[in-house]
Amino acid sequence: MSERTEIPRLRRVPTQARSRARVQRLLDAAEELLAAEGAEALTTTRVAEEAGVSVGSLYQYLPDKGAIVEALARRYLAEFEQLMDQLEHEIRRDPEAWTDPVGRLIDAFSERYRQRPGYRALWFGRDLSDELRAADRENKLALAQGVRRIAVSLGIARDDAYLRVAARAGVLVTDSILQEAFRSDPSGDPALIEEAKRILRLYLAEVVRHYSA
């Protein structure tokens, strides 16, 4: 398990399968509460009740609300990194299917937002804690790194300083539009999603021209 995907701030690191399963059950319960009621519901008492464990058992691993929120954020971050890995594998297997990389990426992100209402509740809220702001920045940087790797794999860019800026800018623009698309519609406003694709395709054309000049 990488440093990024480790559950942070644990008072006790689970080593046995039963303990690891208990931590995952706690996080599953926290995610259900987050999706149903928002981050305000993530108190240690509510999460313990939802998971069917004692508060004392929860305290062994997740000492407070901040640790619960950060652990969920890390879980979502790991899932998005896995998604980027899957997309890169698709490119290696069938690069000809990637004639529209912007469309493939935005569709993949949009589908993940649909599947993870807890993710939307965590990052699309208007009042982010310091912990969430830090996790949000790390999430966007990880996604930008994935976009860079995909661009290089497709042979449309070199992994240089310009691509690092361009990939980060693309992720920030996409994230901003998708936030609005999913705030107004749990399935994602299709018109906004299509507009995001149009904007990013134009931007990608500029990036390609930069490398062909």
pLDDT at 38: 86
Read off the pLDDT of residues 168-187 as tens digits, 9 standing for 90 and up. Answer: 999 999 999 998 999 889 89
Provide CATH code, domain 70-212.
1.10.357
The answer to whether residue 6 scores a pLDDT higher than 50 is no
- The domain limits of the chain are 70-212
Percent of the chain with pLDDT over 90: 53
Read off the pLDDT of residues 63-121 as tens digits, 9 standing for 90 and up. Answer: 888 888 888 888 888 888 889 889 999 999 999 899 999 999 999 999 999 999 988 88
pLDDT at 49: 94
Q: Which range has the top average pLDDT, 78-82, 131-135, 189-193?
A: 189-193
The whole-number average pLDDT for the span 125-134 is 69
Terminal Cα distance for the chain, rounded: 42
Q: Reduce the secondary structure of 144-207 to three states and give it as a string.
A: HHHHHHHHHHCCCCCCCHHHHHHHHHHHHHHHHHHHHHHHHCCCCCHHHHHHHHHHHHHHHHHH
pTM for this predicted structure: 0.81
pLDDT at 128: 62
Pick the closest to residue 112 from 65, 80, 149, 156 (CA basis): 80
Q: What is the H or E stretch that residue 49 is in?
A: helix 44-51
DSSP string of 87-142, one letter each residue: HHHHHHH-GGG-S-HHHHHHHHHHHHHHH-HHHHHHHS-SS--HHHHHHHHHHHHH
The answer to whether residue 18 scores a pLDDT higher than 70 is yes
The answer to whether residue 190 scores a pLDDT higher than 50 is yes
What Cα–Cα distance (Å) separates residue 170 from each residue in 62, 98, 148, 149, 192?
35, 18, 10, 14, 15
User: 208: pLDDT confidence band, cut at 50, 70 and 90?
Assistant: very high
pLDDT at 39: 83
The whole-number average pLDDT for the span 113-133 is 78
Query: Of residues 6 and 196, which shows the higher confidence score?
Result: 196
pLDDT at 5: 41
Read off the pLDDT of residues 26-46 as tens digits, 9 standing for 90 and up. Answer: 999 999 999 999 888 999 999
191 burial (CB, 10 Å; 0-12 / 13-18 / 19+) is: exposed
Average pLDDT, the chain: 86
